[in-house]
Chain A
Amino acid sequence: MLLTIEGLTKRYGTGDAALNGVDLAIPAGEVVGLIGPSGAGKSTLIRCINRLVEPTAGRVFLAGDEVTGRRDLRFMRRRMGMIFQEFALVERLTVMENVLSGRLGYVPYWRSLLRRYPAADVQRAFATLDRVGLLDHVDKRADALSGGQRQRVGIARALLQQPDILLVDEPTASLDPKTSRQIMRLICEVCAERSLAAVVNMHDVALAQMFLSRIVGLRQGRVVYDGPSNGLTPEVLTVIYGEEDWTRSAQRDDDVADEDVHGARPHGREPLAAVG
């Protein structure tokens, strides 16, 4: 198993348990969708894996190496690329600097300070930007790009880490439906090309079903479903999200889905408390 999570628990200062003994195993090259209502702990789970949020209990292993409880976190984090909901680019840096920041876990400080990255890193950055279709925007500032372009930069940054796994936190929450699909397609393609594993946190069930074969359902910090995406029956959705007329959205075809699914989920984003 590439990523193994055992009994992961996160309790915030207020005493609320955001995660309650989560077990999960992901083999190399598999892309897993993570769904669940707002406040179910999706974002917290992803952030506990690379310890942006420090878990209260439980263990995380990446390819056999334990992530939790070690001091040289830098060497584990650089093996996990992260893609964010609102892109989280450093707005005032150029596209290239944002992409190269994916190498920060590898290069010594003086190189990052002087922007003198090793030739191989620069080459790979150009190649990655070409792959995500932004080769013409290298020297633009990140805040000059559109939402979809920014998320492509975010993907390129994560890929430049040459990670074993991608942690993707609601990659499409700030995008329109068309761009959302393009971004999801891109994420799935690059994962397939590099046989990368990924955990993709999704609020949009239809989109998750469309692109991902394995789905994990989270409710109140516990895993309540782990199986193929075509097993998301109305009964299963009721277990994950609660009572609602699921038949309409469950039987939808690809193009009319958005409205129903949007109507079904309570909120577009995780509340801040869950993000920490």
Chain B
Amino acid sequence: MPVTRAHDGLPEWRRSTPRQALLRWFGWLLLVALFVFCWRVMTQDTIWAYFWDAPNQAADIAARMMPPRWSYIDALWRAMWDTLAIATLGTVLGIVLATPVAFLAARNTRPSAALVRPVALVVIVASRSINSLIWALLLVTVLGPGVLAGIVAIALRSIGFIGKLLYEAIEEIDKKQVEAIQATGATSLQVVDYAVVPQVMPAFAGISVFRWDINIRESSVVGLVGAGGIGLNLEASLNTLAWSQVSLILLVILATVLVSEWVSAKVRAAII
């Protein structure tokens, strides 16, 4: 009981019993111990001289970055086009692949609970667990370097994202509308067409645009592992320590991200 008798016999109120308080303190202690342990393991090989030198390094890099080498912009137009293509085509391909997966994973549209749904869920989890850059790494070794590897990497990562959000949206639809269409004697394909699709359409559009926005950011770095786009230029500039080019590339990426964010906000507002 939180209310106890103190030494002087007056009732005393505490938020929790001593046992609860002890448990809570023990929990915190455990967390701190875990943090300290992880920190020690993580930094066992760290060369701290480098760390303390970081401010000098940062100042040095910043100095080399300024001013950006504006003339380099001419080499970036094609890279920008490729980056946009990777994001857009990757998103389109991802949507095409994710939509059937979502319908197979949703409890109310899946054809079979025992076989198909678990497979669809595994596809979604596998796709979500692996970052676009790792997908790109894999695909560059398989398909060879280039834009194609980037597109497929973005698409494979998008399947899990779009698939998960879409199947959750499908599971949340209004059952009465489905029932009404079933009652007309519609086949199950017609039920999907007339009762399910209209209901998930806004969610579908919102999710797709949202993923496209994310994919713009991701496609700007898949080039680091050779999968095309402006990341290739970033990689090349870093390798030659051309920091004034790096700063220009970062500015261009920043501008693209801002524009894509603005576009996706506009499109989402138009849909809803």
Contacts and interface: CB of A to CB of B under 8 A. Distances in A.
Judged by CB atoms under 8 Å, the answer to whether A and B touch is yes
Interface of A: 50, 52, 73-82, 84, 86, 88-93, 97, 101-106, 109, 112-113, 154, 157, 161, 167
B194 to A, nearest CB: 5
By Cβ-Cβ distance, the 10 closest A-B pairs, closest first, are A105-B185, A78-B185, A88-B180, A104-B186, A77-B185, A82-B183, A92-B198, A88-B176, A74-B185, A104-B190
Given A90-B177, A90-B180, A90-B194, A75 B189 contact: no
B179 interface: yes
Contact of B184 (A78, A89, A93): A78
A105 B186 contact: yes
Contacts of B12: none
A112 B176 contact: no
Most buried by B among A81, A84, A90, A112: A90
Contacts, number: 82
Interface string B143-182: 0000000000000000000000000000000101101111
Sorting the interface of chain B by its residue count into under 10, 10 to 19, 20 to 34 or 35 or more gives 20 to 34
Contacts of B179: 52, 84, 88
A82 to B, nearest CB: 4
Most buried by A among B180, B187, B201: B180
Contacts of B187: 74, 104, 109
B131 interface: no
13 contacts: A52-B182, A52-B183, A74-B187, A79-B185, A90-B177, A90-B194, A91-B177, A92-B201, A101-B181, A103-B184, A104-B181, A106-B185, A109-B193
Given A82-B180, A90-B195, A112 B185 contact: no
Contacts of B264: none
B199 interface: yes
A84 B180 CA distance: 8
Given A90-B195, A161-B185, A112 B180 contact: no
Contacts of A80: 183
A77 B181 contact: no
B168 to A, nearest CB: 18
Nearest to A86: B176
Contact of A113 (B174, B184, B193, B201): B193
Contacts of A161: 184-185
B184 A101 contact: yes
A227 to B, nearest CB: 29
A82 B179 CA distance: 10
B182 to A, nearest CB: 6
Given A86-B176, A88-B176, A88-B177, A93 B194 contact: yes
B130 to A, nearest CB: 35
Nearest to A53: B179
Contacts of B198: 90-93
Contacts of B183: 50, 52, 77, 80, 82, 167
